[in-house]
Amino acid sequence: MRDVAIIGVGMNKWGELWQKSLRDIFVESALLAIEDAGVGHIDSMYVGCMTSGLFVGQEHLSSLLADYLGAGPIPSARVESACASGGLAVRMGFIDVASGMSDIVLVGGVEKMTDVGGDGATYALSTAADQEYEVYHGITFPGLYALMARSHMEKFGTTREQLSQVAVKNHENGSKNPLAQFPQKVTVEQVSKSIMIADPLTILDCSPITDGAACAILCPVEMAKKISKKKPSVKIIGSGNATDTIALHSRKDFTTLSATVKAAEAAYKMANVKPENVDLAEVHDCFTIAEIIITEDLGFFKKGEGGKATQSGMTAIGGKKPINTSGGLKSKGHPVGATGVGQVVEVVHQLRGEAKDRQVKDAKIGLTQNMGGSGGSAVVHIMQAM
C-alpha cells in the first residue's frame, strides 16, 4: 500500500448561495484545489453528496460534475453516507491512491440546500434517520440529539452553560474564518435564551442549512515530493470508517457514538498514534452536544468530561486540545455532503501553517471526524505535516 499525501485544497465561501448552482459551487472549489496543488490533470474523482435529488432534483453527479469540470472521461463516482458523505469521499480517494489504481485523485463534497423551503430541507435531512421507526412518528434530528443531550446531562451532570460554551467557542473561531457562513460571535446567554427547538437544544445549539463545496487533491507521497515545490504537503497517516444502528432507540447508550469510537480506533491503529498525540481536531458538531460526546469518544477526554473541558477552555485555540478551529459546522456551516472535506481543508491549512488568526501553534498532527445522521456512520482521518 502506497503512502498518500494531500497536495492541494480548495473551498468557496459557504452560506446561502442563491446565484450559484450545485455544479457552479463544486467546480469553484475543485479549480481552487487543482490550482493549489499545481497539477495539470486528475486521474479520477470522488464526490460526496447526501441527497442532491431531494435538494435540487439532480442525481448522476459522477457524470455531471466531471463534465462540468472539463475532466471527462475520467472515472468518477458519487459517494453517499448521509452527512458523512464528504469524509467517505476522502476515504475512497485515499484507498484509490494507496492501492495504486490512480495517482492523482480529486476528492470533493457538495450540497446545495437552500433551493427548497424549510419543510423540504427537513424532509431531505430526515432521510438519514430510520424512516419507519423514527421519522414516521415525527422525530427530527434536533429531537434525536436532544435525547442524547438530556441523557448526557442526567448521567454526567453536563450543564446548559456547557452546551452554550461549545457554540460560543466555535463562533469565536468562525469569526476569524473568512469562508464561514455565520462568523458572528455569540454569548452564553444568547445561546441559552435563543428559541427552543427541542429541549434542551435551542436554535443556537444547531448547525445551519448551508450551500457549499470543498475539494482536495491526493497523490502518492513520493509524487508529492516532486510536485509540491512551493507548499508543504500533508500525509494521511490514518483512516477509519464504521457504522452503528441507524435508529437511536436500538443503541445501548445514548451518550456514546459507537461508530465514532470504532472508526477512531482503526485510524489511531493505522497512524500508530494516540489521542494525546493529536494537536487539533475538526469534529462533527451538528449540535453542541455532538461535539461534547465526540471529544469523549475520540479519547480526548474521559466520558462525561467533554462539557467541563469546553467550559474550562481546553478546546479553544491555545487550549490543550483545540477543537473546530474553523468554526465547525456551527459557525462555518454544514452543507451536508461537503462537510467532511471542509474539515480536511481546515486541518491541511493548520498543518501547513496557513490558518492565520486561527493558527494552532506547532501543529503537526490533525484529526477529522465526520458522521452521518445521529451517528449511524462515521469516518475519521488522521493527518501529519510532512
CB 279 within 8 A of CB 364: yes
- How far apart CA 48 and CA 371 sit, in angstroms, is 13
- How far apart CA 217 and CA 239 sit, in angstroms, is 16
CB 26 within 8 A of CB 365: no
Catalytic residue among 83, 206, 219, 286: 83
CB 27 within 8 A of CB 72: no
- How far apart CA 32 and CA 34 sit, in angstroms, is 6
> For residue 69, what are the contacts with CB-CB under 8 A and spacing of at least 6?
26, 27, 30, 31, 45
In whole angstroms, how far apart are CA 143 and each of 132, 176, 210, 297? 16, 31, 20, 21
Catalytic residue among 152, 171, 284, 334: 334
- How far apart CA 309 and CA 328 sit, in angstroms, is 17
Active site residue 219: no
Which residue's entry shows cell 501547513?
A: 352
Residue 34, judged by CB atoms within 10 A of its CB (0-12, 13-18, 19+), counts as buried
Per DSSP, the residues of 89-131 read HHHHHHHHHHHTS-SSEEEEEEE--TTS-HHHHHHHHHTTS-T
Active site residue 334: yes
- How far apart CA 142 and CA 201 sit, in angstroms, is 7
SS3 (DSSP) at 354 = coil
Q: Annotated active-site positions, please?
A: 83, 334
